[in-house]
Amino acid sequence: MVFGSHAYIRRGEKNKMIEIELKAWVSDPEETKAVVSALASLKREFDKEDVYWYPAAPRSAVPNFGVRIRREDRSARALVTYKIKERRGGVEVNDEREFEASDREPFEALLGLLGFRIGARKRKKGWAWTMGDITVELCEVYGVGWFVELEILAPSSDEQTVREARSRLLSFLREIGVSEDKIESRYYTEMLKE
């Protein structure tokens, strides 16, 4: 099973990288899919269900966005993620850490015992491609709409690295026919609450 959007990356490599990403609204998903398919290598289709757990009471040791538990393609396994999130120059710069739990339900029960509560749910269905070191996802976020997500994994979050990655992501966005005014800076969890 391919698990997580970066499953084709060597095990452990993802834990050492910084995500530099952007997402943009898509008005014609079929047209965008055709354009991306002509430029990039299709890796897989996906169906991701995310549950976001937040501490019931604020804790300084817990990131303010909580913990995401992703179930993909109806598996009992879970991809557990926490991120240190930042927005810089119109892109997200995330120090993301992930690990697998072989059984989602006991892990969620543990979070409940530790004082975490479910704060949001999200479902994304779509396709993932790669073009060089750019990961491209075209997805429908249920209850929100269609998006293209572009991501580069970088070894650091220094200003030059972020600036260069942002430039490449914006260039690819233009290449697939999506204008910069379609970029969405809010997180999906924010949009789902609106």
pLDDT along the chain (194 residues), means of 10: 37 64 97 98 94 77 72 78 82 85 87 89 96 97 97 92 95 97 93 86
**pLDDT at 91 (0 to 100):** 84
Cα–Cα distance between 42 and 37 in angstroms, integer? 7
pTM summary value:
0.80
Cα–Cα distance between 33 and 146 in angstroms, integer? 11
> Which residues on neighbouring strands pair with residue 117, listed in sequence order?
54
**pLDDT at 32 (0 to 100):** 98
Cα–Cα distances in Å, from 63 out to 32, 48, 94, 127? 35, 22, 12, 29
Domain range summary for the chain, segments of one domain joined by +: 14-193
What's the CATH superfamily of 14-193?
A: Hypothetical Protein Pfu-838710-001 (2.40.320.10)
Residues 18 and 154: beta-carbon distance below 8 Å: yes
Residues 51 and 108: beta-carbon distance below 8 Å: yes
**pLDDT at 83 (0 to 100):** 80
**pLDDT at 62 (0 to 100):** 56
Burial class of 103 by CB neighbour count within 10 A (0 to 12, 13 to 18, 19+): exposed
**pLDDT at 14 (0 to 100):** 47
Tell me the H-state helices in the chain: 29-39, 104-113, 159-175, 188-193
**pLDDT at 1 (0 to 100):** 29
Give the pair of three-digit tokens for residue 73.
Answer: 């393609």
